[in-house]
Structure 1
Amino acid sequence: MGEQADPARVLEKIRIAEETRRSRFIGQEAITLSHGAGGKASFELIEGLIGPAFSNPLLDSLDDAAVIGLPQGLRLAFTTDSYTVSPLFFPGGNIGSLAVHGTVNDLAVSGAVPVALSAGFILEEGFSVTQLRAIVEAMALAARKIGVPIVTGDTKVVPKGKGDGIYINTAGVGIVRAVWHMGRDAVQPGDRVILSGSIGDHGVAVMIARQGLELEAEIESDTSPLHELAARLIDGVGSALHCMKDPTRGGVATTLNEVAQGSNCAIAVDEAAIPVRPEVNGACEILGLDPLTLANEGKLLAFVAPEAAEKALRILREHPLGADSVIIGEVEEGPAHMVYLRTILGGRRVLDMLVGDPLPRIC
């Protein structure tokens, strides 16, 4: 049988961790790569240092985009992101297309139609103009396919040895189409958890490209824009759609933990239901990685009221990017903030968010 968790003991550990998280940075002297991985160390950085400094109602929700109310009932979604992926070019995409897709996806899962993007480039002296042209053209093509213009930006150059070729920062604005509240705090017990397809493709593709590994199977990043998929869900199931997330840094495991914390609920998922391509699973076994903690750049998680779950599933499967959508679990009343994995062996174990940083600079 799989490892059985004692909910009371684990809940007490989480309570203690939450009480001390804001003080975790007292005495810390340096940032590590783990602080950028999107897992536990990232949360300690945000909740212990950055979040308290800028605290306000829009920021404190920690959703993928801030939703800002405007006159006449209009609501604007606003997001920003930075991209440091290494290598810059990988099977299925590059840092340019990834930057556009990632920013659009943060708007999409917030219930918004993307309206405009910005692009900021930090270039290292000596960076190849040929590579820069390829990256910029990939960004432009991705933006045109989505139908969202890049309307403003900035370029800075740092001395040779003071950067790593190119970093890209993007911001995006969109008009929120959902007239009801969506977010982690809207998730309710009984909600079904829907995943739009197989996981781990992006993380494994980047790792293989970075290490120059030669595998028999060809694995490409899943980097894709999710705006059409999200819009279909919003139109199709309406207010039964309580939350959407794109499981990027830290993967599905970290994203589920974020939702459990934000909703004060528990989440139980079935290991057997989570789709992982055989070649990705095989690569993870060779590399010692867990697909559940690997970044995805073209998948979404949807939390839907039980009466609308099957309809949501049908809607997602009608789109090429959601053809392999599955229900992987459900939201439970408690213990609050817990995520459980019902294992293939019939046990039940705690599924924690990413600890450490097995794959830095993944996006």
Structure 2
Amino acid sequence: MIGKLDPDDLALVVSRTGAQDDDVQVGPGYGEDAAAIEIGDETLVVSSDPLSLARERLGTLAVNVACNDVACSGADPRWLTNVVFLPDDDRETLDIVTEQIDEAAKNLDVAIVGGHSEYAPDLSRPTVTMTAMGLADEYVPTGGVEPGDRLVLTKGAGIEGTAILATDFRDEVGTDTTVDGESAAVDGESAVEAGESFFEEISVAEDARVLREYAHAMHDPTEGGVITGLLEMAEASEIRLEVERDDVPVRDVTRTLCDTMSVDPLRIFGSGALLAAIPEEGVEDALDALRDVGISAAVVGRAVEGDGDGELVLDDEIIADPPRDDLYQLWE
């Protein structure tokens, strides 16, 4: 079975934290994608992420997904280590993946400072694991949501998933499928070509740089999409989040590809968007600041007092367990 561990199995893993270290401000925890380590007057933020799917842009996604976690925690991504496993002696794939990694890191002004590479014949596909690091003046957690906060989502649901649908599933979508929507800019355009361009929007470093000045909490929705990202924020914060599906922005390209492949745009890989919990009085200033740098965003819900366990209410449905990403059924 592909995908993340369920919450019970994950709890077992994150309970085993090795030696005690008083400089660790934030360690392993459900929903918290990055560690915070006190280094003098600053905080070192560290996050690791593996990637083995999305073959066409594996290196691009691996860099951005790892750096997004650091950015969402209040730091500017600065360093990366890079571990690459290849299933066979395939120099062409090695060249393509490492070139993508190099280009993506340069675009983010991040240095690759080490790692490991080897051939692993038992693997069925290339696998890349990145560890990203950066320094923050103040760590921003996933679990910092407070009652009354408004929930802001940048860009839209399913950005990463849209790009994957347009590339890994190009043949299934069909190159003659066109975008059907309200936006005149894309209406009638090839859905595959439009969706592939979403790879250029996977980074949320700029989104986070703006919103960290306003947010109590930030999180990037990855596997399981916006729904899982919201649930992780709710559980990490032990609070109730109320969201209306119709308030969540979904681009025409995303909706077209998702309808074609029968998947839910709120339940597919969501890198490229950022979720932020912002005090009500700061929401308009935050939205204005995003607009000033050309980033779209919308208020999608609010936080209210819960029973202390954390829960997500989507429309009238209470979601207690993270959904399996809809794209996994397409790979199996």
Normalised to the residue count of structure 1, the TM-score between the two structures is 0.77
Q: Spell out the pairing of 1:269-348 with structure 2 (5 A cutoff).
A: 269-320=243-294, 322=295, 324-336=296-308, 337-342=310-315, 348=316
Asked if 2 retains the 8 angstrom alpha-carbon contact of 1:206 and 1:362, the reply is no
The aligned runs of 1:250-261 (5 Å cut-off) are: 250-261=224-235
- Match in the other structure for 1:118: 81
Q: Which letter does structure 2 place at the counterpart of 1:146?
A: L
| Cα separation, partners in 2 of 1:44 and 1:81, compared to 1, 3 Å | same
Q: Is 2:54 the partner of 1:82?
A: no
Q: What is the CA–CA distance in structure 2 between the aligned matches of 1:103 and 1:149, rounded to whole Å?
A: 13
Structure 2 CA distance for aligned equivalents of residues 362 and 107 of structure 1: 29
Partner of residue 112, structure 2: 150
How many angstroms does 1:295 deviate by? 0.8
Shift, 1:353, TM fit:
4.7
For residues 118 and 232 of structure 1, do their structure 2 counterparts lie closer, same or farther at Cα, with a shift above 3 Å needed? same
**Pairing 1:164–2:128 present:** no
Q: How far did residue 294 of structure 1 move?
A: 0.9
Tell me by how many angstroms 1:123 deviates. Answer: 1.4
Specify every segment of 5 or more residues in structure 2 that has no aligned partner in the other structure, as ranges. Answer: 21-25, 179-190
Partner Cα separation in structure 2 for residue 59 and residue 175 of structure 1: 18
Residue ranges of structure 1 left out of the alignment (5+ in a row) = 1-31, 343-347
Helix, strand or coil for the counterpart of 1:173?
strand
Of structures 1 and 2, the one with the larger relative CO (CA 8 A, separation 6+) is 1
**Residue-by-residue CA offset, 1:272-292 (whole Å, 9 max, x unaligned):** 211112332233233231111
1:232 to 176, 188, 210: 210
Q: Secondary structure at the match of 1:121?
A: strand
Cα distance in 1 for partners of 2:163, 2:108 equals: 23
TM-score by length of 2: 0.84
In the alignment, is the contact (CA less than 8 A) between 1:124 and 1:158 conserved in 2?
A: yes
Identity %: 27
Aligned residues, how many? 304
Q: Is the 8 A contact 1:199 1:275 kept in 2?
A: yes
Q: Deviations over 1:323-359 (max 9, x none)?
A: x2011111011244121123xxxxx222455434532
Superposed CA RMSD: 2.3
Code of the aligned partner of 1:196 = T
Counterpart for residue 184 of structure 2: none
Change (3 A) 1:184 1:130: closer
Structure 2 equivalent of residue 22 of structure 1: none
The one-letter amino acid paired with 1:164 is: S
2:163 to 176, 190, 205: 205
| Aligned residues of 1:117 and 1:151 also touching (Cα < 8 A) | yes
1:109–1:246 contact (8 Å) kept in structure 2 = yes
Structure 2 residue 55 is the aligned partner of structure 1 residue 97 = no
**Structure 1 residue 141 corresponds to structure 2 residue 103:** yes
1:96-118 per-residue CA deviation (whole Å, 9 max, x = no partner) reads: 11111111111000001112101
In the alignment, the residues of structure 1 paired with residue 102 and residue 330 of structure 2 have an alpha-carbon distance, to the nearest angstrom, of 22
Which of 29, 33, 41 is residue 64 of structure 1 equivalent to? Answer: 33
The CA distance in 1 between the partners of 2:261 and 2:219, in whole Å, is: 27
In structure 2, C-alpha distance between the alignment counterparts of 1:114 and 1:362, rounded to whole Å: 32
Post-superposition shift, 1:50?
A: 1.4
